[in-house]
Structure 1
Amino acid sequence: MKIDTDVLKVIRSATVDGLTLRLNGTLDRKLYDRVNLALQAVGGTWNRYQRAHLFPFAAADAIAGLLATGEVITDVDRGYFPTPKPLVEQLLDLAELTAGCEVLEPSAGRGDIAKAAAARGAVVDCIELDTARAEHIRAGGYAREVTAADFFSVKMQRRYQRVIMNPPFADRQDIRHVQRALRFVQPGGLVVAVMYGSLPYRSDRKAKDFRARVREARGAITELPDDAFPGGVSTVVAVIPVREPAPPSLFNPQAPRPEDFTPRPAVAQ
């Protein structure tokens, strides 16, 4: 998103001290809203008690790129839509969590799903590309591990009993993210994912193949109400079991043995 000149002028004149950025002077509401949007895009959160924007790391570093380029990447640009609390609870119910269940939330945003899963007794790890949001999750103290990285750069390992996720929607990234997530789950586990609402109706090969994979796993894709997300973003929720691999063929002595597929036992917490 290109930042208007008047917004850049306000941010340049702000007082920066450690994690804090204070705007100087009185702004009209429309100008403040545009300034606030730009600061939020680089990790700033308005704190009404301190009357300042607070950052999870040095505010000067957070706004350096913004001031140098005159651009920011907003949550909407990234296809990031925070998961509303009622939907979070619905996802956790569908995941059938039990105490000690190991859960991954990739593309975790600010960790809304992870925090609620931990409150139900799950052991939660998070992956989040945006460093400011990853720091926000770490500061919350509810995640066992927080990895600040692109989900597609993280080594795959069948470590988890559940993946619960709200992946990016932009450019149909949701299918790629969910397909990768399936490779992090032990046989007998589940992937529960919010996905873009056009998924059940699209006729492209990627969507067709994905729906076939869900059917084969005896999963389900269910449409969510229009008001599930603010702004009326159309969404569905996919619940996909991860089945035991098929036994090796009797006619192929090189095929993997059944014990090769034995999942790692859950570690007692």
Structure 2
Amino acid sequence: MQISTEVLNVLSRCRAEGNFLFLADQLDRSIYVKTNKVLEAAGGKWNRKGQAHIFTADAAERIEQIILTGSVDIPRDLFNFFPTPENLVTDMVLRAEPAAGERVLEPEFGDGRILKALKLAAPDALITGIELNDERFLAVKNDSVLSTGVELVHTDFLGYQPDETFDVIVMNPPFLKRSDVKQVMHAIAMLAKRGRLQAILSAGVLFREDTLTKALRERVKQLGGQISPLPDDTFRESGTKVKTARLEIDLRR
């Protein structure tokens, strides 16, 4: 079952307490029927006494899965790592235009494919990659292409505080629990005066109304950037139905 943006917006405003999910708004009949149909298909059962839909597991996690995928199907992964499709990597790097001598960053570099594309596009740039996961960090550290000419930092990006700003940042962060929004906000603070940022986020960034997501949209607007939806099948080759959006900032304009 694919879910409309109207219903996803309603779900993003719900309140979860353990297995209980409470609708945040008084909905008109038509949107309530659509929302209730989705919740029931996702495993939620209406409880009149509790005035909530009850799930057999954590309600917040189940709703997060639905918002990320736009479907009631249970995803096979927690969205901590899905490789960026090669054609999208190429396009992001081309748009970011890294150049020789510029400071370039990729947070949460995963399997290193974006780092490789950055190094290929600008071999004389000063490239830094951040990764918290032990296995992925070691794999990239031992990679013949990336073991030299790239500074690899084994840490949590949200705790990373560089001494200097970056001219180019290209990123595809984890999505769960607003990790993508948090990491992009952190990255924006590191942009140089003429910096460029290319980021992939959950499509929820386009409609969610929580304080953090609204703050990101406002910040992007202030900087003259844009957030636009990507096609639904963008990450199909990576084994996920997750709906995504592209965020672009170019401070040279």
Matched ranges for 1:6-155 at <5 A? 76-77=77-78, 79-121=80-122, 122-140=125-143, 141-142=145-146, 143-155=149-161
> 1:161 aligned to 2:162?
no
Local SS of the residue matching 1:99: coil
Aligned residue for 1:198, secondary structure, equals helix
Report how far residue 242 of structure 1 moved.
4.8
Which residue in the other structure is 2:7 paired with? none
Q: Deviations over 1:47-99 (max 9, x none)?
A: xxxxxxxxxxxxxxxxxxxxxxxxxxxx9335221111011011112212223
Could you tell me how far apart the structure 2 residues matched to 1:198 and 1:78 are?
Answer: 14
Amino acid at match of 2:182: R
> Do the aligned residues in 2 keep the contact of 1:165 with 1:193 (CA within 8 Å)?
yes
* Structure 1 residues 179-215: Cα deviation after superposition (integer angstroms, max 9, x where no partner): 1112222111012110001211112222222111111
Structure 1 letter corresponding to 2:200: V
Give the superposition deviation at 1:232.
Answer: 2.2
Gaps of 5+ in 2: 1-75
The alpha-carbon deviation at position 243 of structure 1 amounts to 7.8
Inter-CA distance 233–78: structure 2 relative to 1 (3 Å threshold) = closer
* The one of 215, 218, 222 aligned to 1:209: 215
Structure number with bigger Rg: 1
| d(CA) in 2 for partners of 1:147, 1:186 | 20
SS of 1:87's equivalent?
A: helix
State the AA in 1 paired with 2:206: P
The runs of 5 or more residues in structure 1 that have no matched partner are: 1-74, 245-269
Matches within 5 A, 1:221-236: 221-230=227-236, 231-236=240-245
Q: Distance in 2 between matches of 1:76 and 1:185?
A: 31
- Paired with 1:139 and 1:211, the residues of 2 have a C-alpha distance of 38
When the two structures are superposed, what TM-score results if normalisation uses the length of structure 2? 0.62
CA distance in 1, matches of 2:209, 2:252: 26
Amino acid at match of 1:123: L
Q: Which amino acid aligns with 2:222?
A: E
Query: Whose relative contact order is higher, 1 or 2, with alpha carbons under 8 Å and at least 6 apart?
Result: 2
| Distance in 1 between residues matched to 2:112 and 2:99, nearest whole Å | 19
The number of residues matched between the two structures is 170
Match of 1:133, as an amino acid? R
1:238 aligned residue: 247
CA distance in 2, matches of 1:78, 1:149: 19
